[in-house]
């Protein structure tokens, strides 16, 4: 159920004020500013992508040099870290 009000009477000057539109505009401006900051860099690496690269490079190196598919990464977590923490197929 939606209650309709006379917005022009509420604002006083005949200008409609919509908080949803203001929030949408603020989020759009913030998103565009973030995109511009990212695009200003030739290389943009986030923490998550760096972690993914490390795991993929380690697995590729071990597999390429004939050591098979590793289950653990000894360089992380005192050897308790998994080489495939999120899933086997995307990283292999």
Query: 54-84 pLDDT, tens per residue?
Result: 888 888 898 899 988 888 888 888 878 888 8
- Mean of all residue pLDDT scores within the chain: 80
Query: 2, exposed or middle or buried, with CB in 10 Å at 0-12, 13-18, 19+?
Result: exposed
Residue 4, pLDDT > 70, answer no
Residue 41's Cβ-side half-sphere holds a number of Cα atoms within 13 Å equal to 8
- The residues spanned by each domain of the chain are 7-39, 47-91
β-bridge pairing 72-73 and 81-82: antiparallel
Q: Is the pLDDT of residue 10 over 60?
A: no
């Amino acid at each position: 159920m939606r209650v309709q009000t006379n917005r022009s009477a509420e604002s006083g000057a005949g200008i409609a004020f919509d908080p949803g539109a203001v929030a949408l505009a603020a989020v759009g401006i913030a998103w565009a500013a973030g995109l511009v900051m990212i695009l200003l860099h030739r290389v943009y690496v986030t923490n998550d992508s760096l972690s993914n690269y490390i795991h993929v490079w380690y697995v590729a190196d071990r597999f390429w040099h004939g050591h098979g598919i590793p289950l653990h990464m000894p360089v992380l977590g005192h050897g308790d870290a998994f080489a495939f923490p999120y899933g086997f197929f995307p990283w292999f």
